[in-house]
Amino acid sequence: MIVLNMGIPRSGTVWAFNVLRLIFDEHEVAFTPANANSPDEIDAALSAHDPAGHLIAHFHDITPAVEQAAQDPDSHVFFNYRDPRDVVCSQMKLHDADFDIACDMTANAFKLFDNVLAMPRVMLLPYPHVVNHPEALIYQMGLSMGFLLDLETVARIAAETSREKHRQVVAEMPKDDEDAVLRSFSGKRWVSMDKTHLLNDRHIQSGATGRWLEELTPDQQDRVNQVFAHPIRVLGFGAT
């Protein structure tokens, strides 16, 4: 089984990754995780996959190899998305990026949405539902992969993947343990990431919907409303 865990950056893909790995853990199913940060890395992970095993691939780039893998009846596709205006805010904070760069990053990510919708059996995970209705999503995510989760298990997975629990994971991250933590330089600062959870030291932010109204200037608000008018309308995020 190949699980394609992808989506718009800063839309809950890491939350989905942790839900998926816990579903496998609950059923004692061994799997290989892959956190791909470039098109070459995701292609390599898919190429190296043993068809007899299980792979959870977390990534944001959609390549021809990804589109081909999505056609496999034994593949399961999960795609997170979020109000692009909030994505811009989150990208600015995570990457210390200026507004224009964050806009470009977000616009490039949303260009792939049509490719995803063409994939069979794709399950879309809207960020507001991740925040407000995680147990319903967790139940359906398990079911879509052939795992019937009892409600106690669903509640346990929801608790283990809650924002509070993930804040705790980040706070307790052993930054000097190379086996547990990956350290890399972003170009502006050193970033520490927990290898099990894929959470980095600036990963957990407010989780709020509509943060763009508070964090962007009026001119920036006008700009994101113009740049992202189409996804805002199609995905029903509202003009304000």
CA atoms within 13 A on the CB side of 208: 8
115 part of a folded domain: yes
Domain that holds residue 197: 2-235
| Other Cβ atoms within 10 Å of 104 Cβ, number | 14
Domains in the chain: how many in total? 1
Residue 133's CATH number: 3.40.50.300
Compute CA distances 217 → 51, 68, 90, 168, whole Å: 50, 42, 15, 32
Is-contact 123 140, C-beta < 8 A?
Answer: yes
Per-residue pLDDT of the chain (240 residues; tens, 9 = 90+): 999 999 999 999 999 999 999 999 999 999 999 999 999 999 999 999 999 999 999 999 999 999 999 999 999 999 999 999 999 999 999 888 999 999 999 999 999 888 999 999 899 999 999 999 999 999 999 999 999 999 999 999 999 999 999 999 999 988 778 888 888 877 777 888 899 999 988 888 888 899 999 999 999 999 999 999 999 999 999 866
240 part of a folded domain: no
144 part of a folded domain: yes
